[in-house]
Amino acid sequence: MVNKKTSALIIFILMTACISFLHAQDFYVERRFIQRLSWSGNEYALRYEVIIEKEESGEFRRVYQEFSTGYNIEVSLPHGRYRYRVIPYNFLNHPGAGTEWVDFEIYAALHPQLYYAVPELYLSGEARPVFSGEYVLMLYGMHIAPHAEIFIRRENGTTIIPSETRVSTDRSVARLVFDNLHLIPRSFDAVVRNPGDFEAILKCNAYIAAQPDKESALRIFEELGSIPESLLVFFGLVVPEAETEPEVEIEYIPPEPGYRAFKWYLSFALSPIFSLYDNLALQPEAVMALPSGMFQFGFIRSAKNSFFGLGLEAALSLFTFNAVYPTDWQYYEYQTPMRAIAFNVNLAAQKRTYNEKMAFKFRFGAGYTFISTNEEIDYPFISRPFNLNIGASFQWLAGRKFFMETGADMIYWFSGEESSGAIRPFAGLGWRF
C-alpha cells in the first residue's frame, strides 16, 4: 500500500511534468490561415462538388475535393498556384455542367525584414540633389510581399499612405511615392505589414545627414553578402563617370510651408432652398426654390501640424422661385417668377482625416441677394436684401484632384427689422489644384 508521503511525492512529480510540458509548448506556435472560395448558386442544385488542383512541375494535381450544399467552402492550403472548379448536382443527384477552371495563387506568409531606408533623390549621385514636390522613399530588406500594406507612421500614431507603392520582383526593395513633400515629418517609422499580420518596423529620418548612417547600413548589407545595385553609388562603391569631384553629403532642411500649403478648389453643387420662416429673400409667399445651383471658389491653408485648416471662399448662388403680389383688383393676386443671384464671401475651417481622403468643413459668411423679374410690378419689394449664411459639409476625395461634397447651409435675409430664414441642402462635385 502506498503511504501518504509517497502519494504526495507522485502527485508533485506529475504536476511538475505537466507544468514543464505546458511551458515547453509555448515555444511552438502553429499559425494556420483560412481561405474562402465562393461561387454563384443555382436554385435547382441539390449540392456542389468543389475540386482544387495545385500546380507542381508545370502540371496540376488534385489536392482537395469536397461536397457542399452552400455557396462557399473554407480551406487551409499552403502557398502555391492553384485552380478550382465547381460542379452542380441536381435533385436527382446527377452532375451538371461544371464551371471553367479558375486560377488563384496563395502567397507564403513570411515575416518581412527592413534593413535600411533612403530618399530616392540621394541615389542619383549628385552632390546637391534637388527636391521636387513629391517625396520618394526607398526601403531595403527581405520578404516584402507584393500585396503588403506599406505606410509611414508619425510619432503621434497617425499614418501617411503613399500614393504609389512598387515592390521589386525579388521582394527586397519597396519604392514609396508621396504626393506632398511637406506632409513628411523629419522622423517617422516605416511599416511593412505582410498578409497574416506579419510586420516589420524601421525608424527613419526623412533627410540623411550623418555619415555613420551609411557605415552602419553598409555593414548590414556586407553581412548579408549582397548590396542592392541602386545603393552602390550611394555608399561610394561606384563613382559615376560624369562625376569629377568627390560627393559631398549635405543636410537639406525643407523650407517652412509657404504658398504650397494653400489648397485651391473649385466646386459646383445643386442646392434647393426651403423656407423655414417668413419667405425666401423677403418676397411675398415665396417658400421654396428647387431650380438652384451654387458655385464656390476658394482656398484652404493648412499650416504644418495644424489641427484645422483655415481659408476663404467666394460663393455664387443662382435660384428661381415664385412670388405673389396684389393687383389693382380687390381679392386678386398675381404670381410671378423671380430670379435671384446671391454673392457671398465665406470664412472656412476644414479638418481632414488621418488618411487625407475625407474632410469636414465649416463655413460662415455674408453677402447680398439681387432679384430680378421680367414682369412690371407696381409694388415695393426688396431687391437687394443682406444675407448671412452658416453651414457644414462632408468631403470625400474620390481621386487625386477630384472630390465630392454634401452638406447644408442656413441662410438668413435681413432688411431693417424684417428677416427670413431658409435651409439649403446641397450635393456637388469639385476639383482642387
Architecture per CATH, 113-231: Sandwich (2.60)
Q: For 42-101, what is each residue's pLDDT tens digit?
A: 777 888 999 999 998 888 999 998 898 888 888 888 888 899 999 999 888 888 888 889
Q: How much is the pTM?
A: 0.41
pLDDT of residue 55: 92
Q: What's the sign of the alpha-carbon dihedral 388, 390, 394, 395?
A: positive
| Whether CATH 2.40.160.20 fits 259-432 | yes
Identify which of 414, 411, 415 has the alpha carbon closest to the alpha carbon of residue 288: 411
pLDDT of residue 119: 82
Strands (E), 248-385: 262-270, 273-277, 288-289, 292-301, 309-326, 333-352, 358-372
User: Domain limits of the chain?
Assistant: 35-106, 113-231, 259-432
Inter-residue contact 111 to 67 (CB < 8 Å)? no
- Write the CA distances from 80 to 61, 142, 227, integer angstroms: 12, 19, 29
Residue indicated by cell numbers 542592392: 228
pLDDT of residue 214: 67
Q: For 153-189, what is each residue's pLDDT tens digit?
A: 998 889 999 999 999 888 889 999 998 888 888 889 9
Which cell numbers in the block locate residue 133?
514636390
> Is pLDDT of 312 > 90?
yes
In this chain, the answer to whether the domains covering 113-231 and 259-432 adopt an identical fold is no
Inter-residue contact 344 to 366 (CB < 8 Å)? yes
pLDDT of residue 331: 54
> Is pLDDT of 259 > 50?
no
- Write the CA distances from 253 to 126, 236, 257, 339, integer angstroms: 17, 23, 12, 55
The band of 195, judged by pLDDT with boundaries at 50, 70 and 90, is confident
> Is pLDDT of 334 > 60?
yes
- In the chain, the amino acid numbered 148 is A
- In the chain, the amino acid numbered 172 is S
For residues 59 and 61, what is the distance between their CA atoms, to the nearest angstrom? 7
Inter-residue contact 404 to 430 (CB < 8 Å)? yes
> Is pLDDT of 203 > 60?
yes
Architecture per CATH, 35-106: Sandwich (2.60)
> Is pLDDT of 129 > 70?
no
The band of 251, judged by pLDDT with boundaries at 50, 70 and 90, is low
